[in-house]
Amino acid sequence: MGATGSSALARFVLAQPRPGWLRVAALALAAVALGAVAWCRAWPRRRWRRLQQVGTVAQLWIYPVKSCKGVPVNEAECTALGLRSGNLRDRFWLVINQEGNMVTACQEPRLVLISLTCDGDTLTLSAAYTKDLLLPIKTPTTNAVRKCRVHGLEIEARDCGEAAAQWITSFLKSQPYRLVHFEPHIRPRHPHQTADLFRLKDQQIVYSDASPFMILSEASLADLNSRLEKKVKVTNFRPNIVISGCDVYAERNQFCSSLLLYRGKTVLKEK
């Protein structure tokens, strides 16, 4: 067959009507696509209809060094290991003694007098009548990794160096101490190893006592203060997230996941 014949055959084949099953398949695919688009658009609305307001984020706090003063922030991300805001992580630094045991305000009450600020990649520790201590957010990898114990459980940490150790020791004025820092490659602790109350074996913590978050409601605090002669403040409990506009002790039923929290934003839960 010549070129002319081949061209004519091609035109003939292309001109043939499509089989019926192709039309049916095309219509079916179009219907599926339209249905998927409609479902995706409707899903957020359906999900929002299942949510109800339980309160408003009133305060957000991060405590970079365990037992030292907290840093108020306007927004924070809920990570698996606790709140994060910029370079600040919650309880990622820890004071230890020469045996590697954690030191908190229970043993050294003056720790709560140390305040912290973060500017870029530098964490600054400040205390009255003491020169500020400047620490890099990322501890030099040449520093030693030490084995520590938090509530009897071993966990590793990067030593913050001699200057930090001297600063902490000089301020507390009791015995030699060191400051250590948690790093991402270090294996965290698990709450269920500390207390049987916490059954979530996949949950992880760093230097917090038993949970990556602590939530407190203003209603619960008000209820407690109604029973006390000497009133207490939010800061006495060192919470990460303070909720307003909710029922008393409603925080017992709230959970944090990988969310971004902002002060003044509504807290929702599924009905």
Enumerate residue ranges in the chain where pLDDT < 50: 2-16, 255-258, 268, 270-271
The per-residue pLDDT for 45 is: 59
The per-residue pLDDT for 180 is: 99
- How many separate domains does the chain show? 1
CA 133 to chain centre: 26
What is the residue range of 226's domain? Answer: 53-270
Q: Look at residue 176 and tell me if it is in a domain.
A: yes
The per-residue pLDDT for 11 is: 40
Q: Look at residue 116 and tell me if it is in a domain.
A: yes
The per-residue pLDDT for 35 is: 56
Sign of CA dihedral 31, 32, 34, 38: positive
Q: Look at residue 211 and tell me if it is in a domain.
A: yes
Q: Look at residue 28 and tell me if it is in a domain.
A: no
Q: Look at residue 1 and tell me if it is in a domain.
A: no
Q: Look at residue 18 and tell me if it is in a domain.
A: no
The per-residue pLDDT for 29 is: 58
Distance of alpha carbon 211 from alpha carbon 241, whole angstroms: 13
The per-residue pLDDT for 115 is: 98
Q: Which residues contact 212 (CB under 8 A, 6 or more apart)?
A: 79, 80, 81, 82, 90, 203, 204, 205, 206, 256
The per-residue pLDDT for 9 is: 37
Q: Look at residue 219 and tell me if it is in a domain.
A: yes
Q: What is the pTM of this model?
A: 0.76
Q: Look at residue 114 and tell me if it is in a domain.
A: yes
Q: Which residues contact 85 (CB under 8 A, 6 or more apart)?
A: 60, 62, 73, 75, 76, 77
